[in-house]
A and B are shown apart, each in its own frame.
Chain A
Amino acid sequence: MNEPQNDQDKKDDKRAKGNRAEKQPAEETLGLLRDVVKTLRKLDADVKEIEGVQTED
């Protein structure tokens, strides 16, 4: 009778632990993806600058 409830408890427990354990790596990855965006923005600006000068030459 208690078996389905126990299964649910285990599922919820696993889920809660998983959320705690995995939140940090996910946030780190999102941070690294944002670093990729920042670097691409810098590259975009520098490449445009060079392109502008080469077009004038």
Chain B
Amino acid sequence: MERLTQNEENKVIEGVDSADEEIREVVEEIEGLAHKVLEAVNRLRPSDPSSKMLERAYARIDEDAVALKRTVNIILSSAAGYGAGGLALSAVVAPSYDLEGIGYLGLYSAAVIGALKLATSVYTTLDTWRQKREAR
């Protein structure tokens, strides 16, 4: 039977803490960018592109909006695979901290889900903008 030495245990905890830090940074970045994009898209008019350069920018936005939706859906579906409000990320921390870890990581899970909801709003807002353009 494999047992963790104190040194290994410390390394696991360091790894978990470092993962937490990375998660926090990524979540903050998603939130900041999502708010910026949402505010800017809400100011855009649903007008046709007035140049080839803008036409390409419109096409990139439509593609990136779909890519964003796809990535968010992959993350959420993999999180659902871990059940009970679990996020895939919680699976790495919970075994390390046992029951305490589940509650601890729950905060980050909620933060990640919140960031993903914002990212979903970006997709739906961009999709609405595309539909308005096409309806003109």
Binding site for B on A (CB under 8 A): 9, 11-19, 22-23, 25-26, 28-30, 32-37, 39-44, 46-51, 53-54, 57
Contacts and interface: CB of A to CB of B under 8 A. Distances in A.
Contacts of A29: 75, 78-79, 87-89
B75 A32 contact: yes
Contacts of B47: 54
Contact of B61 (A9, A32, A47): A47
B3 A13 contact: yes
Interface of B: 1-4, 12, 19, 22-23, 26-27, 29-30, 33-34, 36-37, 40-41, 43-45, 47, 49-51, 54, 57-58, 60-61, 64-65, 67-68, 71-72, 74-75, 78-79, 82, 87-89, 91-96, 98, 112, 115-116, 119, 122, 126
Instruction: Count chain B CB atoms within 10 A of each CB in A14, A35, A46 and give the residue with the most.
Output: A46
Contacts, number: 133
A46 B57 contact: yes
Q: Chain A interface secondary structure, helix, strand, loop or mixed?
A: helix
Contact of B1 (A13, A28, A33): A13
